[in-house]
Amino acid sequence: MTDTIPNPKKILFVDDDTFLLDMYAVKFKNNGWDVRTCDNAENALKVLRGGYVPDAMLVDIIMPGMDGIEFLSVVRKENLAAGAALILLTNQGLPDDVAKAKELNVDGYIIKATTIPSDVLRETEKILANKK
């Protein structure tokens, strides 16, 4: 018999670093989350336009093609993932980057270089709890 969590929280990670995607996916899955990962913004838009509605999205800023700021602008404009906690998970910590994120009204901003996966999990859960 397996323990399954009814209606697990859903999360979408968007980052071009597949090592980090795998690391975060394992951490969140081991804590009962339903995890989807996309290695670029275009794939993430396909997933969202296909009907996937996450409770939270963690998005990198610097990615080839469409960056995370552009991606979140499209998500907002098309009303994709309505109600999801939108969190930037990035190494971009300059004031200009944070200001752009605030203009998009993101729910959180986590600097990758200063956090370990368990910190990211805790911060995501805290942001989601505060959003309800």
Q: Is the per-residue pLDDT at 25 higher than 90?
A: yes
What's this model's pTM, rounded to 2 decimal places?
Answer: 0.90
* Three-class SS of 25-57: HHHHHCCCCEEEEECCHHHHHHHHHCCCCCCEE
Q: What is the pLDDT of residues 43-74, one digit of tens each?
A: 999 999 999 999 999 999 999 999 998 999 99
Q: Domain residues of the chain, as ranges?
A: 10-131
For residue 132, name the pLDDT band (cuts at 50, 70, 90). Answer: low
CATH: 3.30.1490.20, 3.65.10.10, 3.40.630.30, 3.40.50.2300. Which one for 10-131?
A: 3.40.50.2300
Which amino acid does the sequence have at 99?
A: A
- Please check whether residue 86 is in contact with residue 104, taking contact to mean a CB–CB distance below 8 angstroms: yes
Q: What is the pLDDT of residues 70-129, one digit of tens each?
A: 999 999 999 998 899 999 998 887 788 778 777 888 999 998 888 999 999 999 999 999
